[in-house]
Structure 1
Amino acid sequence: MDFSFLKNYYMFFLEGAKITLLLAILTIFFGVIFGILLALMRISHNPILKTISAAYIEFIRGTPIMVQLFIVYYGLSFIGITFPDINVLGSSFPDLMAGVTALSINSAAYVAEIVRAGIQAVDKGQMEASRSLGLTYFMSMKSIILPQAIKNVLPALGNEFIAIIKESSIVSIIGIHELMYNTDMVRGNTFKPFEPLIVTAGIYFIITFSLSTIVRTLERRLKTSD
């Protein structure tokens, strides 16, 4: 195998990796926030909120992410939602936001089920005890239940975050210059169909392995603090 093309094209991989990390960070941020909200709706005593949350989760988990991406990509402009047309690391900002939105919508459904399982694993007596001390339901959930739930499901959340990084490659089909998109550009320019993919696989591995290490370290520290 010949990797001599790297001296001319290494920046394509680095720029693509930057976009991939940006997508992952934004998706994790919005996905976790929306996912926690969906989880709280799912376990609430309000039948309307429970139904909305359950329907959303089942629909998102039951449809391909590519379909969701196209719905968001074409749907935002269809309903009049536009973003300033500026350049972000070589990618169009509207396209980037469409990718983040689609990935966040998808991730939130899975995060919601993970968080819901974590909340339900916490002893119900803790909620009753906190309410008896005068805390509201919201305060009890925020200060007592959710921290324990997140701690319990941290490994599962870590796996979801890793999945987000790998699934972010799907946004290359709408022209976002993330790692996979730039890899295809290198393959086309160098007429090397195989070697650029090996480089890309190595970069994805470095990113996901680093995240896995961080999650395991955090998990050990949380166990030590018990």
Structure 2
Amino acid sequence: MPTPASSTAKSDFPWWLAAAVTLAVAAAIFIAASDLYAQVFATVAKGIGITVFVTVVAFALASAIGLGIALMGLSNSRWLRQIARFYVEIIRGVPILVLLFWIAFAGAPAFVVAWNALTAPLQSAGLLGELLVRDVSLLWRAIMALTIGYSAFISEVFRAGIQAVEKGQIEAAKALGLTRAQRFRLIVFPQAIRTILPPLGNDFVAMVKDSSLVSVLGVADITQMGKIYAAGSFRFFETYSIVAYIYLILTVGLSLALRALEKRLRRQHEE
């Protein structure tokens, strides 16, 4: 007669993962065996590097800005709290695609005008050249749009994680004479990261998918390479099936890696 522990172990077996891996391997074999699908995959895969670059850079910048906004929202200054709340509510209310267009075609030109105005003396002295709108690449405009859009969501993740730390521990750190920066670095953040990591990982996976929006600016990511191939060959089913397959490999792989990291941190905390 099976014990409750063995029954639980069997019920917890990730059958969904086994099915997903089986389908992924079968799809890989089919792609390798088909000249058409192999050609589509080789073309679309050229955009993987851009997709990964955009995601990693934008997420790193968004996390840094989000942490800063979260700390502003938790500061003792009423004005800093209001500024942080204003930023979060306004940015979260704008769709990422709209923000992408605004940054690319309104924000970037405005930045160029402001930069040239501020550096006019240096330009007159010949120490600095004039900045043109075309000098700001569409790739970096897309990265900044994703950075600004996601920083508002990530700031709320940081804020919730920091507030989840027991106030008693913070008071004890104050009693020991630790400065505000030391309390955050040694007491608050190491505990908050366990609460922050799961939703932060979800945002990272979501950014991998939302990075496909940069294709509207002509950035040569996975989606854009698929659009170009499909427009020239009219093989829409084959092309977008491959595009979906690559994104699934990236997102499911990241989800599993993040889940393993969460379990490792939980195990270390229990020990």
**TM surpasses 0.5:** yes
2:110 aligned partner: 78
Residues 192 and 213 of structure 1: is their aligned pair in 2 closer, same or farther, counting only changes over 3 Å?
Answer: same
Counterpart of 2:216 (choices 173, 180, 185) is 173
Structure 1 residue 73 displacement after superposition: 1.0
The alignment partner of 2:236 has SS state of: coil
* CA displacement 1:129-182 (0-9 Å, x = unmatched): 112111111111122111211211211111100100000111111110111111
1:133 aligned partner: 176
Write the mapping of 1:207-226 to structure 2, written as runs, cut at 5 A. Answer: 207-226=250-269
**Does residue 40 of the first structure (1) align with residue 71 of the second (2)?**
yes
Residue pair 2:48, 2:222 contacting (<8 A) in 1 also? yes
* CA displacement 1:110-132 (0-9 Å, x = unmatched): 11101111111110111111121
1:102 aligned partner: 145
Q: Which runs of 4+ in 1 moved over 3 A?
A: 1-4, 6-11, 81-86
Q: Given residue 203 of structure 2, which amino acid in structure 1 is its aligned partner?
A: E
**Does residue 121 of the first structure (1) align with residue 164 of the second (2)?**
yes
Structure 1 residue 12 displacement after superposition: 2.4
The alignment partner of 1:177 has SS state of: coil
Residue pair 2:62, 2:150 contacting (<8 A) in 1 also? yes
Counterpart of 1:68 (choices 93, 99, 122) is 99
Residue pair 1:36, 1:111 contacting (<8 A) in 2 also? yes
* Distance (whole Å) between structure 2 residues aligned to residue 12 and residue 31 of structure 1: 30
Question: Which structure carries more helix by proportion?
Answer: 2
* Distance (whole Å) between structure 2 residues aligned to residue 165 and residue 83 of structure 1: 30
* Distance (whole Å) between structure 2 residues aligned to residue 46 and residue 40 of structure 1: 11
The alignment partner of 1:122 has SS state of: coil
The alignment partner of 2:39 has SS state of: helix
Q: Percent identity?
A: 35
Residue pair 1:127, 1:145 contacting (<8 A) in 2 also? yes
**Does residue 196 of the first structure (1) align with residue 260 of the second (2)?**
no
Structure 1 residue 84 displacement after superposition: 10
Structure 1 unaligned spans of 5+: 87-92
**Does residue 19 of the first structure (1) align with residue 50 of the second (2)?**
yes
* Distance (whole Å) between structure 1 residues aligned to residue 250 and residue 111 of structure 2: 36
* Distance (whole Å) between structure 2 residues aligned to residue 106 and residue 83 of structure 1: 25
Q: CA RMSD in A?
A: 2.0
If the length of structure 1 is used for normalisation, what is the TM-score? 0.91
Residues 34 and 218 of structure 1: is their aligned pair in 2 closer, same or farther, counting only changes over 3 Å?
Answer: same
Residues 179 and 83 of structure 1: is their aligned pair in 2 closer, same or farther, counting only changes over 3 Å?
Answer: farther
* Distance (whole Å) between structure 2 residues aligned to residue 202 and residue 10 of structure 1: 10
Q: Given residue 34 of structure 1, which amino acid in structure 2 is its aligned partner?
A: I
Structure 2 unaligned spans of 5+: 1-29, 116-130
Structure 1 residue 214 displacement after superposition: 1.1
* Distance (whole Å) between structure 2 residues aligned to residue 62 and residue 26 of structure 1: 23
* Distance (whole Å) between structure 2 residues aligned to residue 8 and residue 218 of structure 1: 35
* Distance (whole Å) between structure 1 residues aligned to residue 254 and residue 68 of structure 2: 24
* Distance (whole Å) between structure 2 residues aligned to residue 35 and residue 61 of structure 1: 12
Residues 202 and 83 of structure 1: is their aligned pair in 2 closer, same or farther, counting only changes over 3 Å?
Answer: farther
If the length of structure 2 is used for normalisation, what is the TM-score? 0.76
